[in-house]
Amino acid sequence: MTSIADTGERDLSPPTARQIFTGFLGIGLVGFGGVLPLARRMLVEDKRWLNPQEFSDLLGLCQFLPGGNVINISVAVGMKFRGWRGALAGILGLTAVPTAFVILLGVLYDRYSGDPHVQHVFAGLAAAAAGLLIGMAWKMLKPLLGKPQALLVVGLLFAAVAIFRLPLILVMLVLAPFSVLLSWRSPR
Amino acid sequence: MMATLIALALIFTELSLMAFGGGYAVLPEIQRRVVEVQQWVTPAEFSALFALAQAAPGPNMMIVPLIGWHVAGLPGLLVSSLAKFLPSSLITCLAVSVWERFRDRPWRAAVQAGLLPVTTGLVASSAVVITLASVTGVWLAVLTGVTAAISILTRAHPVAVLALGAVVGLAVSFV
């Protein structure tokens, strides 16, 4: 499978906007939790619209830009093959079903949020969601533990945003350039 | 209503352009704007909406349409979604067109390395903000601790962890 993909061989014709829409629709439909591994499998292994190197390059670009990584990938893939119509098809395919799903859950929450059992279920759900976020923060922090400069930035940002609740735009305007300057000047 | 929609549009456009490192990075700012500044929802409601969005399939930022819908119905959903996803997507479209030119520039690596601790600090802030809003009792504190440990120590699927939270909540409601 990968050997075929590694040679860069793929379907001769680029995907149509409709195919881009349905491709990302499939990801949005089943992508509970992490969507990124599913996106890679669809793009590189199943449909072979991108070879592994192209996918890595595109992901690097999307991580570098503002916005969600997978959302940016859906836009970038659509743009690459079919221009702005393809980009629109990609992002709509990815977000249509999850939006409908989340609204359904929201309706249920509004209707039954007065019920004590339901309140407990949502309290438990929210506590578990918090636990997942703590886990994710730890996984991101771990590779930075040996790097004092990076930890300084993490600490300053945490203090500004979580403790002092300063507006994010101010914090980003000051700390993002500061952090980039630190990484520019430090030998890697 | 119009004022609410304009406020939604402005807030999420600004957040769209600042969301370096993905959706979780701007979660504390969404909470600050929606709960503290606008007071559209309570901290507990915000946590519940976040949990709902996490329980749904799809990308991370499904809390954005959900908040828009909660605050101003279907127009709110459309306005908040467009404001959150359109500006960053336009930038992506532009960037795809000029990407090749910057591929090997050393400043790109420096920017990426520099943004990493920024994103990490933002995600850590998200974790604290959501935890403070969610944990209002001993059993919830234990549940958050256990689910955090599970997600750090095992490769359990996030949906399974959320399901555990819901089941424990249901069980507690009968105690």
Q: Indicate yes or no: CB of A122 within 8 angstroms of CB of B168.
A: no
What confidence score (pLDDT) does residue A4 get? 44
Three-state DSSP string of chain B: CHHHHHHHHHHHHHHHHHCECCHHHHHHHHHHHHHHHCCCCCHHHHHHHHHHHHHCCCCHHHHHHHHHHHHHHHHHHHHHHHHHHHHHHHHHHHHHHHHHHHCCCHHHHHHHHHHHHHHHHHHHHHHHHHHHHHCCCHHHHHHHHHHHHHHHHCCCCHHHHHHHHHHHHHHHHCC
A-chain residues within 8 Å CB-CB of B49? 106, 109
DSSP code per residue over A145-182 = TT-HHHHHHHHHHHIIIIIS---HHHHHHHHHHHHHHH
Contacts of B57 in chain A (CB under 8 A): 28-32, 97-98, 101
Q: Smallest Cβ distance to B135: which of A130, A153, A167?
A: A130
- The pLDDT tens digits of the residues spanning A24-81 come to 998 888 766 567 778 888 898 889 999 988 887 788 788 778 888 889 999 999 999 9
Q: What is the pLDDT of residues B79-132, one digit of tens each?
A: 999 999 999 999 999 988 777 677 677 777 788 788 889 888 988 998 998 899
| Chain B residues with CB-CB distance to A123 below 8 A | 48, 134, 136, 140, 169
pTM of the model: 0.80
| Chain A CB contacts of B127 below 8 Å | 130, 133-134, 136-137
Q: How far apart are CA A30 and CA A26, in angstroms?
A: 7
What ipTM score was computed for the predicted complex, to two decimals? 0.83
Among B118, B167, B169, beta carbon nearest to A175: B118
Of the candidates A138, A149, A158, the beta carbon closest to that of B152 is on A138
pLDDT, one tens digit per residue, over A111-166 is 888 899 988 998 998 899 899 889 988 988 998 999 999 999 999 999 999 999 88
